[in-house]
Amino acid sequence: MTAPTLKHLTSEGVVYAPGVWDGLTARLAEQAGFDALCASGFAISAALGLPDAELYTMSENLTAIRSITAASSLPVVADIDTGYGNAVNAARTATMFVKAGVQGMFMEDQVSPKSCPICVGDPVDLIPVPEAVGKIRAVRDNTPDDVLLIARTDATGDEALRRGRAYVEAGADMIMPVTKTFGTVEEWQRCHTEVGVPLMATLTASTWTEREFTPEVLDQIGVRLALLPTQLLMATTGAARTVLGRLAAGEPPAEVSADAMAHHEFVEMIGFPEVEAMQNEYLPAKGA
């Protein structure tokens, strides 16, 4: 039986997609029972030891995408930042990401290099609407119809609504306001009404959308794809920092390990039983 596509899943209700950045986190998210994954640009950048300011390249992002799609059978929505250039660059980026196996992608209307809007104090700079529309058209024209194209806007208020309508007309399947775009549920609902397509929301850790966008609210405001982009990253980073601090302070490694996942549990989770089964099936017996 063929697994449902991301486009099909989002047509039936709200889909939650946790932010992952490599094969291990993709595998964990699938085993946890999620239906889709978000290849979080914030997390991919952090995995390289960098802030989310488009310091990494398209090819570095693509490498992460390939590790995610290889490790999991779940549909992946990818963060392609600004498309890494003009409309022609964005079209090539989209083509490469589709070849890597993504079923959806979101592209923003910031000036390149972008900055994560919740990490900087001042409003971010946006490209003019005609330029943004051209990039969306280029991506849509070079992307299969069954791949979700999500246009992100970092504008606010009425300007965000104006951009959202223009992006839908250019071919976007969904509109993605960021957490700073609107400040109330009612504004999100108005956005959905005016753009006429489903919305994608980021329930970023420690933001108002994480607190207030319950499943009922998400359905009310027309969100069909709800990203959980930083929860896993923050939890993993916090746990790693605690463990390293304990070890660096001289705590016996055995005491630190006692609080972590057991070795045998990790071995099973990562797939060693499956590898051993294949070895027994296909490799010559020892001594043969």
52 is a catalytic site residue: yes
List residues bridging with 226 in a β-sheet. 16, 201
Residues 251, 29: Cα–Cα separation, whole Å: 31
Three-class DSSP category at 171: coil
pLDDT in tens, the chain (288 residues): 567 899 999 999 999 999 999 999 999 999 999 999 999 999 999 999 999 998 999 999 999 999 999 999 999 999 999 999 999 999 999 999 999 999 999 999 999 988 887 777 678 899 999 999 999 999 999 999 999 999 999 999 999 999 999 999 999 999 999 999 999 999 999 999 999 999 999 999 999 999 999 999 999 999 999 999 999 999 999 999 999 999 999 999 999 999 999 999 999 999 999 999 999 999 998 876
pTM for this structure?
Answer: 0.94
Length of the chain: 288
pLDDT digits (tens, 9 = 90+) for 55-86: 999 999 999 999 999 999 999 999 999 999 99
Three-class DSSP category at 247: helix
Residues 127, 211: Cα–Cα separation, whole Å: 30
* Residue of 35, 52, 109, 219 marked active site: 52
DSSP 76-138: EEEE-TT-SSSHHHHHHHHHHHHHTT-SEEEEE-BPSSP--TTT-SSPPPB--HHHHHHHHHH
Domains and CATH numbers, the chain: 6-236 (3.20.20.60)
Angle at 166 between CA 160 and CA 171, to 5 degrees: 125
Place of tokens 């529309």: 133
Segment (H or E) for 284 = none
Burial class of 270 by CB neighbour count within 10 A (0 to 12, 13 to 18, 19+):
middle
User: In one letter, which amino acid is 162?
Assistant: R
Please state the φ and ψ torsions of residue 172, each to the nearest 5 degrees. -70, 140
Residues 158, 171: Cα–Cα separation, whole Å: 20
